[in-house]
Structure formats: structure tokens, C-alpha cells
């Protein structure tokens, strides 16, 4: 059996889960349901799948180090990470992954997965995957249709033909000698349907021929590129050139900017799946949830006896059907019904759960006003660790900085600000002009304006320090990097 390569798409912004999900740290990296992030859960549920190759993850510049760190956290050290210079939707992202997979394997299967879904029944998922793999090995382009349990207006749908008599299913049964039992779940795709109104969604639910479009696919890398070349030749050429001209950057492959920019911007559904005559589907009933809104987070969470989902330091009295999430302080609620409350250090969202799809309207208004809360958390992650802006004024700013063991900030200088560092825990190795020295707990140092400096953690535990900035301009763009082990300019 051909090697199967997971292709995980992790470049989305997840604006409907604001204020927890933001452009710089979107929902796929959040630990919304347990100790692992949604991205990590996506990879972990593949444990035990036979003939599985190293995953390919497609992401952007701003989240590349977060992806690398989260993959390493779960013990995957052979992941291939492709960097899109800009977003061009799912069809070019998958094409780039297919080209990269073919540079490493003869003709692998590509299991295309969004990075932000929940699947509770791993056994059911593995069974559906096995059926899809048999059909994909014969050249079909497989997708997974979610068995609907309600008239949902927020999802696109797939209309499927008969199962046992489907061309794809019959072909798989005949070719493998496995009989109709093995091929029965495979059904031909008759059409992809856009999000319906409520009355139409009710009809779909009753018909049993309509399934939610999961956005998960399985096909051989070569077959996908053959079909895409037929319908979108310019896209294939742009992605091929972007891959050929791609540049290795530490653990990443950076696709060529100009070539990738010339690719059409299309989803894989519109570019291939709606146009091919070889699309087939396997039904999936495995506790799937796309975590597309705070209402879906509530539905996927563990609940108390009043159907409330409580995350973090929160206390509820006489509340029902609520989701309350606290990140940094005690949150209390009294007498609420069907309400979502999400607290972060720099923003609070309160809304009726029936309006969960409208969160992005708030994000759009924040963007229009140029407010940083739309895209940035107060805590900002970097390849060396993170910093948290805990206070500030007109000419000063206070940050809590955490440097991972063995990590080092760039050798840099600032034109407009001075910095005072106070070590809270751990050991700091400081470069300050021509001097190099160590600082331990409760020791401090001062970096004048214009002086070249760097900070490193030589120890075996995280380094935590307080940084007090002072000066006429305190923006993050006042950094002149002279050397950087992470390849940042």
C-alpha cells in the first residue's frame, strides 16, 4: 500500500472565536478542549494508521514557529513545514503539498485535514479512512461526508448517490476481491451544495442523501495534480514554480513569493471536487465538530448538570446552556440562558449563543478602527519564548519576558528606547555593548538607547524577567536585528 502523507492546513485566522483566537495566534493552536491544541489533536488521532509518512503542514510566516513548536511538543520531529507567502486558499496549498510529497515519495496518498476540527470517535474515523483509502488507491478523489444530526445552515453539503451501486464502490469491490461489504460505504458525489436556508436544511436532513462537507480529502498526489491541471493549469504551474524556487529556511520550506502570488485564489471544492467525475465520498459519524464558533465549542465541551460549559476560573449561579471561559481572572455569572462569555486579559466577549456566527462583525469593526486587539494578543509568542505587555504609559512600557531553555533573542539595537531588565527566575546571559555577563534572580541590568545587545537563556529551566522600556517610541518595529539564529530579518 502506498505511503499516506497527512497534509494539515493550518493557516486560517479563526475570527469567529475572537477574543481567544486572533490573527497572530488562531484557534488551531488553542487548547480549547483538553491539554492538546486542536492542531496537536489532529495529528494525534492518526496514531496507529498503517503506512503513515511524515506530515506536511502548510502555514504562513506569522505562525511558523508556533506550528514547529507544537509539532515538537507531541514528539513529531520529521514534519515538513511549507510557508505560504500569502493566502491563496486551499487548492494551491494542497497543490504545493502534493508537489513536495512527490519530491520525497513515488506517489503517496495525501490525507488532507483542516487543523481545527474535533473527532471524538477515533475508531469510526479510522474505519472510514480505511474505506476511503481503498477507493483512492483506484484513482478516486475521496471526501468525507458528515452524517447530519440537525438541520444546519452554517455548513455546505454534499449530495451523494447510492452506496453499494456506486461506480467507485463497485470498482473497489471488484478490484480488491473484498466484496461489497468493503465497498458499501463508498458513495459517488453528485454535487456540492452551498449553505442552505433552514427549510432546505430540514429537507436535506430527511432525505438521508445529504451530508455536511467536512473539508477532509484523500487522493493520490499525482491524481490530484492531474485533475487540477485539467481545470486550473495556471494554478499548477504557479505552484510548481513556487516549489522549485522555494528556499530552505531552518526547518521550513519558504515557497517563492512571486510565483505563488500568480496562482488563482480558489478552494479545492471549486477548483477540483465540483468539476471532476471521479469524486466519491465515505460517510463519517464520529463525533465531528468543526469548532467554527463559540456555540460549537460549547457543544463539544464537557458540561455540568445545567448544560453549562465552564473553562478556567469561573462561577455560575442559576445559569443554563452557557459557555463561560476565563483566561486571567475570576468570572461570575448569574441568571443567564444561552449566553457565551469569553474573558481574556485585554478583551471580553458577551453574546447570545444564537449569534455565534456574528463574532467576526466585531472583529471587522476593530480592524476598521485599527485596534491591535483584532489581531494580537497581549501575550505574543516568539521562537525563543514569549512576552506579555503587562502595563505602560506615554513613554514607558513593562513586559514580562519568558525565554525557553537554550533559546536566544537576536543581537539587536533600538533607536528610540532604552531597556532595564530584572531577572525574576532562571539565569540570563547578557550581551550589552562590548560586555558579556550572567545575571541570576533579583539581579538587573540597563541597556542604553543605541547599544547593541542580546539575551540568552543558558540554563535548564525557563528564564523569566521583567523588562521596563522607556523612550519616545516603543513600537515593535524599532528593532534593528544584526544576528538571529531563527532567520528573521
Q: Which of 129-133, 335-339, 380-384, 435-439 has the lowest mean pLDDT?
A: 380-384
Hey, do 4-289 and 379-483 end up sharing a CATH topology, with the first three levels equal? Answer: no
Range of 30-39, 205-214, 326-335 with top mean pLDDT: 326-335
Average pLDDT over residues 66-90: 93
Cα 414 from Cα 148, distance rounded (Å): 56
Domain locations in the chain? 4-289, 294-365, 379-483
Average pLDDT over residues 177-192: 64
Res. 185: pLDDT tops 90? no
Cβ 118 vs Cβ 34: under 8 Å: no
Cβ 264 vs Cβ 232: under 8 Å: yes
Protein fold of 379-483: Jelly Rolls (2.60.120)
DSSP per-residue codes, 351-389: EEGGGGGGHHHHHHHHHHTT-GGGT--SEEEETTEEEEE
Residue 54 — pLDDT band, cuts 50, 70, 90? very high
Average pLDDT over residues 429-453: 97
pLDDT tens for each residue of 266-276: 999 999 999 99
Rounded to the nearest angstrom, the gap between the alpha carbon of residue 281 and the centroid of all alpha carbons in its chain is 24
Residue 183 — pLDDT band, cuts 50, 70, 90? very low
Q: What is the pLDDT of residue 62?
A: 84
pLDDT tens for each residue of 194-225: 999 999 999 999 988 999 999 999 999 999 99
Res. 158: pLDDT tops 60? yes
pLDDT tens for each residue of 417-439: 999 999 999 999 999 999 999 99
Cα 313 from Cα 428, distance rounded (Å): 33
Res. 184: pLDDT tops 60? no
The chain-wide mean pLDDT, for the chain, equals: 91
Res. 324: pLDDT tops 50? yes
Cα 168 from Cα 268, distance rounded (Å): 20
Residue 23 — pLDDT band, cuts 50, 70, 90? confident
Q: What is the pLDDT of residue 357?
A: 86
Cell numbers representing residue 77 in the block: 520531529
Q: Per CATH, is 4-289 categorized as 3.90.550.10?
A: yes
Residue 186 — pLDDT band, cuts 50, 70, 90? very high
Res. 251: pLDDT tops 90? no
Cell numbers representing residue 453 in the block: 545587545
Res. 180: pLDDT tops 70? no
Amino acid at each position: 500500500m502506498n505511503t499516506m502523507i497527512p497534509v494539515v492546513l493550518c493557516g486560517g485566522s479563526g475570527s469567529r472565536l475572537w477574543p481567544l483566537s486572533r490573527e497572530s495566534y488562531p484557534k488551531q493552536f488553542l487548547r480549547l478542549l483538553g491539554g492538546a491544541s486542536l492542531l496537536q489533536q489532529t495529528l494525534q488521532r492518526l496514531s496507529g494508521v498503517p503506512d503513515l509518512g511524515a506530515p506536511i503542514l502548510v502555514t504562513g510566516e506569522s505562525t511558523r514557529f508556533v506550528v514547529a513548536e507544537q509539532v515538537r511538543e507531541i514528539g513529531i520531529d520529521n514534519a515538513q513545514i511549507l510557508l505560504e507567502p500569502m493566502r491563496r486558499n486551499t487548492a494551491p496549498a494542497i497543490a504545493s503539498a502534493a508537489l513536495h510529497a512527490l519530491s520525497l515519495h513515488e506517489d503517496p496518498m495525501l490525507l488532507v485535514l483542516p487543523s481545527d476540527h474535533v473527532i471524538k470517535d477515533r475508531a469510526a474515523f479510522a474505519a472510514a479512512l480505511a474505506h476511503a483509502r481503498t477507493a483512492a488507491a483506484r484513482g478516486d478523489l475521496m471526501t468525507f461526508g458528515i452524517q447530519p444530526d440537525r438541520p444546519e445552515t452554517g455548513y455546505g453539503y454534499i449530495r451523494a448517490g447510492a452506496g453499494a451501486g456506486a461506480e467507485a464502490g463497485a470498482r473497489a469491490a471488484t478490484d480488491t476481491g473484498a466484496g461489497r461489504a468493503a465497498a458499501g460505504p463508498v458513495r459517488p458525489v453528485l454535487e456540492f451544495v452551498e449553505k442552505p436556508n433552514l427549510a432546505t436544511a430540514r429537507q436535506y436532513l430527511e432525505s438521508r442523501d445529504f451530508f455536511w462537507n467536512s473539508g477532509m480529502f484523500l487522493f493520490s498526489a499525482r491524481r490530484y495534480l492531474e485533475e487540477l491541471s485539467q481545470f486550473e493549469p495556471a494554478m499548477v504551474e504557479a505552484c510548481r514554480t513556487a516549489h522549485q524556487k522555494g528556499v530552505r529556511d531552518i526547518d521550513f520550506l519558504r515557497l517563492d513569493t512571486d510565483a505563488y502570488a500568480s496562482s488563482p485564489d480558489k478552494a479545492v471544492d471549486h477548483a477540483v471536487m465540483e468539476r471532476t467525475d471521479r469524486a466519491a465520498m465515505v460517510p463519517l459519524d464520529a463525533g465531528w465538530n468543526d469548532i467554527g464558533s463559540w456555540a460549537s465549542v460549547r457543544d463539544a465541551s464537557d458540561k455540568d448538570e445545567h448544560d453549562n460549559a465552564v473553562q478556567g476560573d469561573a462561577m455560575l449561579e442559576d445559569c443554563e446552556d452557557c459557555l463561560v471561559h476565563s483566561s486571567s481572572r475570576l468570572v461570575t455569572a448569574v441568571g443567564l440562558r444561552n449566553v457565551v462569555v469569553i474573558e481574556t486579559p485585554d478583551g471580553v466577549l458577551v453574546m447570545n449563543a444564537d449569534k455565534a456566527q456574528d463574532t467576526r462583525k466585531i472583529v471587522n469593526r476593530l480592524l476598521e478602527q485599527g485596534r491591535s486587539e483584532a489581531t494580537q494578543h497581549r501575550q505574543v509568542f516568539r521562537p525563543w519564548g514569549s512576552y506579555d505587555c503587562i502595563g505602560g504609559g506615554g513613554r514607558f512600557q513593562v513586559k514580562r519576558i519568558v525565554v525557553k531553555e537554550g533559546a536566544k533573542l537576536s543581537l539587536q539595537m533600538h533607536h528610540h528606547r532604552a531597556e532595564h531588565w530584572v531577572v525574576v527566575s532562571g539565569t540570563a546571559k547578557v550581551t550589552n555593548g562590548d560586555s558579556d555577563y550572567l545575571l541570576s534572580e533579583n539581579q538587573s541590568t540597563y541597556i542604553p538607547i543605541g547599544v547593541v545587545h542580546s539575551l540568552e537563556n543558558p540554563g535548564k529551566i525557563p528564564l523569566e524577567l521583567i523588562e521596563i522600556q522607556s523612550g519616545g517610541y516603543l513600537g515593535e518595529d524599532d528593532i534593528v536585528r544584526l544576528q538571529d539564529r531563527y532567520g528573521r530579518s
